[in-house]
């Protein structure tokens, strides 16, 4: 079932989770152990992130270095199918521009269709680890809106080979990313919203936000979106804080702020177990407030901390 249908048919705020595919060399069992305690909350859908390949330099025996391409977390599409099969829940694979030619993207979408997956979250992806700015693959997409257009075309039965006859239309429900604290490359919020609106006007069904720790920022973002003529559901993305290290890692990686009240509480903590308790309480307060204000879905980035998320959702 499509995410947008879940939202349209819901009588109350829904819950969804986001997971990472296993590291290469590991089995899927750890992911199941991660999801098992979350399934009692009947998530409407589960997102699976996409992780592009990286270049690394490996030392040869003669001391020289060899450039090799590795992909640490392959398998987004098949993990989605496995989760659907095991838990009978809808899944949303993340699909990125980075590292894909348009032909590879089309093949991935065809595979998703065969697997019975109705949803995609279309994203640009970040710069590769060895690059300073995002570079599209030769023959690939530059912006999420270009990738979105390819999915919209496929939904209309338009494939890359224009001489295909009697093509089947895909029926993907399409999500896109939004940034309550602005995408870090955008010169200002107005410009960022203009491009976000472009994605909605081109056919995106809903928005999922980057994580935020201050609900006021989410509400201001929703207001600004509505004023800009963006009227699709805006799903808040939520993440627990569980270690002191995140005080610097989160702002650096995701270009977001942590409210002073939260950072002060974390600084007072003696251990990461204490930080986890603070983070859990903060997430619960955020979630209660968002639910009270009628958000369509509470989308949790579970990332290694399913018990924290479970403790929060249990109390809602």
Asked if residue 135 binds ligand FAD (CB under 6 A), the reply is: no
**How many alpha carbons lie under 13 Å from residue 38 in its C-beta half-sphere?**
29
Out of 17, 41, 45, 50, point to the residue binding ligand FAD (CB under 6 A): 50
DSSP code at position 80: H
Site for ligand FAD in 4-33 (CB under 6 A): none
Separation between Cα atoms, residue 48 and residue 30, nearest integer Å? 14
Instruction: Give the largest CA-CA distance in the chain.
Output: 66
Asked if residue 150 binds ligand FAD (CB under 6 A), the reply is: no
DSSP code at position 70: E
Site string for ligand FAD, 186-205 (x = CB under 6 A): x----xx--x----------
DSSP 89-148: -EEEEEEESTT--HHHHHHHHHHHHHTT--EEEEE-----TT-SS--PPTTS-SSHHHHH
Asked if residue 144 binds ligand FAD (CB under 6 A), the reply is: yes
Out of 6, 34, 124, 239, point to the residue binding ligand FAD (CB under 6 A): 124
**What H or E segment, with its residue span, contains residue 279?**
helix 272-292
Segment lying near ligand FAD (by CB under 6 A), choices 53-61, 141-149, 153-161, 219-227: 141-149
Size of the site for ligand FAD (CB under 6 A): 22
The three state secondary structure string of 29-54 is HHHHHHHHHHHHHCCCEEEECCCCCE
Site for ligand FAD in 93-122 (CB under 6 A): 94, 96
Asked if residue 177 binds ligand FAD (CB under 6 A), the reply is: yes
Asked if residue 219 binds ligand FAD (CB under 6 A), the reply is: no
In the bound state with ligand FAD, the residue whose beta carbon lies nearer, of 225 and 278, is 225
In the bound state with ligand FAD, the residue whose beta carbon lies nearer, of 107 and 190, is 190
To the nearest whole angstrom, how small is the minimum distance from the Cβ of residue 130 to ligand FAD? 15
Is residue 75 within 8 A of residue 27, CB to CB? The reply is no
Q: Interface residues with ligand FAD (CB under 6 A)?
A: 49-50, 52, 94, 96, 123-126, 143-145, 177, 183, 185-186, 191-192, 195, 208, 210, 237
């Amino acid at each position: 079932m499509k995410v947008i249908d879940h939202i349209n048919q819901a009588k109350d705020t829904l819950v969804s989770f986001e997971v990472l595919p296993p590291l290469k060399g590991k089995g899927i069992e750890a992911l199941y152990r991660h999801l098992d305690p979350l399934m009692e909350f009947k998530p409407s859908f589960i997102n699976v992130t996409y992780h592009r390949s990286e270049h690394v330099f490996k030392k040869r025996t003669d001391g020289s270095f060899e450039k090799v391409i590795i992909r640490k977390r392959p398998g987004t599409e098949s993990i989605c199918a496995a989760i659907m099969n095991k838990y009978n829940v809808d899944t949303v694979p993340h699909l990125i521009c980075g590292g894909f030619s348009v032909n590879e993207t089309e093949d991935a979408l065809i595979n998703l269709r065969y697997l019975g997956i109705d949803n995609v979250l279309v994203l640009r992806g970040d710069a590769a680890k060895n690059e300073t700015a995002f570079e599209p693959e030769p023959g690939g997409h530059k912006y999420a809106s270009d990738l979105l257009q390819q999915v919209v075309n496929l939904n209309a039965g338009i494939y890359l080979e224009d001489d295909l006859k009697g093509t089947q239309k895909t029926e993907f429900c399409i999500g896109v990313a939004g940034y309550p604290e602005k995408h870090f490359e955008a010169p200002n919020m107005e410009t960022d919203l203009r491009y976000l609106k472009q994605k909605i006007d081109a056919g995106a069904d809903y928005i999922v936000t980057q994580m935020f720790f201050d609900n006021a920022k989410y509400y201001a973002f929703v207001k600004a979106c509505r004023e800009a003529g963006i009227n699709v559901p805006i799903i808040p993305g939520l993440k627990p804080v569980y270690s002191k290290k995140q005080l610097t890692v989160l702002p650096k990686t995701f270009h977001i702020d942590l409210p002073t009240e939260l950072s002060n509480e974390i600084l007072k903590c003696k251990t990461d177990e204490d930080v986890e308790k603070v983070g859990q309480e903060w997430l619960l307060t955020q979630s209660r407030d968002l639910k009270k204000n009628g958000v369509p879905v509470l989308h949790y980035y579970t990332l290694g901390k399913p018990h924290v998320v479970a403790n929060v959702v249990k109390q809602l």
